[in-house]
Amino acid sequence: MRNFKHIYFFLICSFTILLLSSCADENPMAINPAIIPAPLSQQINEGVFEMNNSTGIVSTDDEFTQVADFLKSYVEYGSSIQLKSKESKNAIIFKRDTSIINLEGYQLNITSGGIEILSNSAKGAFYAVQSLRQLLPATFENGSYKNSTVIIQNLNIKDAPQFKYRGMHLDVGRHFFPVDFIKKYIDLISMLKMNTFHWHLTEDQGWRIEIKKYPKLQEIAAYRNETLIGHYSDQPHKFDGEKYGGFYTQEQIKDIVKYASERQVTIIPEIEMPGHAQAAISAYPELGCTGTPIDVATKWGVFEDIYCPKEATFKFLEDVIDEVIALFPGKYIHIGGDEAPKTRWKNCAHCQALIKKESLKDEHGLQSYFITRMEKYINSKGKQIIGWDEILEGGLAPNATVMSWRGTQGAVIAAKQHHDVILTPGSHCYFDHYQSTKEGEPLAIGGFLPLEKVYSFNPIPKELTIEESKYVLGAQGNVWTEYMKDSKQVEYMAFPRMIALSEVVWSENKNKDFENFKNRLEFYQERLDAREVNYANHLYEVLGKSEIKEGVLFMNLKTNSDTKTIRYTLDGTAPNINSTVYKESLLINKNVTINAASFDTKKQVSDIFNETVKMHKAVGKKITFNVLPSEKYNAGGNSALINGISGSDKRYGDDQWLGFDGKDVEITIDLGKEMNLNSIATRFNNQKGSWIYAPSQVIVTFPGNEEFLPIELEESEEKIVDLKLETKIFTRFVKLKLVNFGVIPDGKQGAGHKPWIFIDEIIIE
């Protein structure tokens, strides 16, 4: 009898647990609204809407039918909820509202009785769906939502974008990506209410679009014999010896364009001219100035073989454009126009005769002639051109839109000439740059662009008046793939920075709050997880910043998440859940190794931040310069050279290296009082492929003393050049003059320009 009671009690408990579980399944909690990009206005109301099998989905205007079908397919994919294609008591209804002026704007009204989506176009309706999507559990993203009901918070949203152009770019010339990934990329763009995919299809290293009139573009130009291994600045260059390439057929492109259109994304194809044309010239040598056969480029950089402005070249490009226009229904064709060396043109009899015939000033004028002629043809086909800001050189083509990448100055010049501009400066929009200073990040081209800096971007340059700022269409994130061999690496570099940029271009500046954004990003990352996006999760990463106050060195630690605790050690051991909690700046007055990490209540949730500080006589002292470091390479401030911390051996874009563009540099350190010195040491970055050269000479002087020590630096191919000077002197001041290498010779990256000088910690013992 006792056994029966035991079994009976067990069955009752089990049934109760199952019942409670079932109730929980049928009544899941509503998600707290955390929409990205932030809506223009959002009011959360009491109550919830229950979506279930009795819910209908209705479009009162034929224009919205495709969007309604998109939402229906999204909800029903992998879930047990099947929406009825008719009105019901708890329906989702799409309605046209002609009072909504912005065609990308919308209203989303959720009540316990139903969901109402108001818009004046399919675009606005689609963006309302993207906001609604973020109010559903992330499991809808991969079809794993299993409950029969989903609960949605009642609210009212009124929303519209700040900018009309909200873009993401992808270079498929350097590395080629399959159709499935291109579609996934478009999906991810559209989820963030971005409306443009800039598809970079032609390059020196590969031609990626089928042109039926010129089959050698597919047979020859689409493939390179091998690919550079490692970074371009690694010397000597090494190659993998493996043929690489591919191209998209016109049928594949039509399919992708249709797919993008269904997600309100316009594709802008880029066909580079007159530069970045080596792949095309490899297939058709007569397109170049020399007529000499060349290979598709196997390494990165800028190449001298560019299109020759002959009639045969223009005929080729016009034929290409004809086939491109037939595939892409959007308004724009991007023609590149960047990084076109004029070496071949200077030595080409035809080019020089054309300059004379057309009364052009020089080769820059010839480039303007080239671009203007192609623009006229493209305009005749009902399209407009976009070009990188180099198309300003020699005079801007009449109807061109400028994409400003070398800072914002190109945008300022073009907008003041009443040309439309799109901002994509390397400082804030180049997602091929490193996003963390920690070691172990995937190899990248260089630079440093953390999430917060992307989020801080204002696409309207301060030099523009209110009237001139109307020519700013928006902004774009660029993903150049020299060092991105597969789609997973593209995802890692693009996310979450793409998410930050989406809010920059959609949301009003007054609504931007990075702390609030980070909290919402934590929720959004659940969607990326569900879609198996290989994003970079630096949200909990511990960051360190040295600070000098009245000659005393401090280390400040922070993490991008307010919900986590930083714990640290100063003895080189790894932190754990019992380590000291960071509360205030750490006073540093001796050699230490700081290890720190973010923790929740139970475990470590970030990688370990590690910094070694070595005290020396210059730490915390006064430092002055005759010229200031570049704003782009001054992340650590001027005190970076006297804070006891050395920069990365691999990267020049971290907080510790200071970069100076093409100038001699004089650095003076005031030790505060006279003292005995035994040695002075520093080091210089020497990544010549990135236009960075160690100085040709370093002159060390001691103001107030007659000592004068010029040091000649032998030219080296090493990435780091060390300098150590042994001396015996009693002095207060130390002055270093860094003599710039001079003009970069022909045949080298940056030829004709003066290189950068990058200097690390100045260690005085």
Listed by start position, the domains of the chain span 26-159, 165-530, 542-613, 622-764
Rounded Cα–Cα distance for residues 698 and 5 (Å): 92
Q: What is the pLDDT of residue 4?
A: 37
The pLDDT of residue 482 is above 70: yes
Q: Report, as an integer, the average pLDDT of 111-131.
A: 98
Q: What is the pLDDT of residue 422?
A: 98
Place of tokens 């919830």: 48
Q: What is the pLDDT of residue 6?
A: 42
Q: Report, as an integer, the average pLDDT of 334-363.
A: 95
Q: Report, as an integer, the average pLDDT of 501-520.
A: 89
Name the least confident of 3-17, 76-90, 501-515, 716-730: 3-17
Rounded Cα–Cα distance for residues 206 and 297 (Å): 8
Q: What is the pLDDT of residue 8?
A: 37
Asked if CATH classification 2.60.120.260 holds for the domain at 622-764, the reply, yes or no, is yes
Rounded to 10 degrees, what is the CA torsion of 303, 305, 309, 310?
-170
The pLDDT of residue 587 is above 50: yes
Q: What is the pLDDT of residue 13?
A: 40
Residue bearing the bigger pLDDT, 63 or 9: 63
The pTM is what? 0.86
**Which three-class secondary structure string do you get for 526-549?**
HHHHHCCCCCCCCCCCEEEEEEEE
Rounded Cα–Cα distance for residues 459 and 561 (Å): 26
Q: Which of 429, 430, 444, 428 lies closest to 650, judged by CA? A: 444
Identify the architecture of domain 26-159 in CATH: 2-Layer Sandwich (3.30)
For residue 18, count other CB atoms closer than 10 A to its CB.
10
Q: What is the pLDDT of residue 635?
A: 81
Name the least confident of 9-13, 304-308, 665-669, 688-692: 9-13
Percent of the chain past pLDDT 70, that is, above it, reads: 96
Q: What is the pLDDT of residue 746?
A: 84
Decide: 576 and 604 in contact? Cβ < 8 Å.
yes
Pairing of strands 586-588, 552-559: antiparallel
Q: Report, as an integer, the average pLDDT of 493-520.
A: 91
Q: What is the pLDDT of residue 465?
A: 97
- pLDDT for 433-454, tens place per residue? 999 888 789 999 988 899 999 9
Percent of the chain past pLDDT 90, that is, above it, reads: 81
Task: Locate 27 and state its tokens.
Answer: 């009544």
pLDDT band at residue 34 under the 50/70/90 scheme: very high
DSSP for 595-659 reads EEEEE-SSSB-SPPEEEEE---TTTT-EEEESSPPPGGG-TT-GGGGGSS----SS-SSSSS-EE
pLDDT band at residue 618 under the 50/70/90 scheme: very high
Rounded Cα–Cα distance for residues 725 and 216 (Å): 59
Q: Give Cα separations from 353 to 307, 347, 366 (angstroms).
A: 16, 11, 11
Q: H or E element: which one contains 492?
A: helix 487-494
Rounded Cα–Cα distance for residues 347 and 341 (Å): 12
Q: Which of 134, 148, 130, 108 lies closest to 28, judged by CA? A: 148
pLDDT band at residue 658 under the 50/70/90 scheme: very high
Q: Report, as an integer, the average pLDDT of 283-312.
A: 96
Decide: 126 and 67 in contact? Cβ < 8 Å.
yes
Identify the architecture of domain 165-530 in CATH: Alpha-Beta Barrel (3.20)
Q: Is the CA virtual torsion 462, 127, 332, 200 positive or negative?
A: positive
Pairing of strands 542-549, 552-559: antiparallel
Q: Give Cα separations from 115 to 150, 272, 308, 707 (angstroms).
A: 13, 46, 59, 81
Q: What residues are paired with 104 via a beta bridge?
A: none
The pLDDT of residue 15 is above 60: no
Q: What's the distance, CA 679 to chain centroid?
A: 42
Task: Locate 755 and state its tokens.
Answer: 């290189």
Q: What is the pLDDT of residue 108?
A: 98
Q: What is the pLDDT of residue 511?
A: 66
Rounded Cα–Cα distance for residues 504 and 510 (Å): 11
Rounded Cα–Cα distance for residues 127 and 102 (Å): 12
pLDDT band at residue 266 under the 50/70/90 scheme: very high
Mean per-residue pLDDT over the chain, rounded: 92
Decide: 669 and 622 in contact? Cβ < 8 Å.
yes
Rounded Cα–Cα distance for residues 674 and 10 (Å): 85
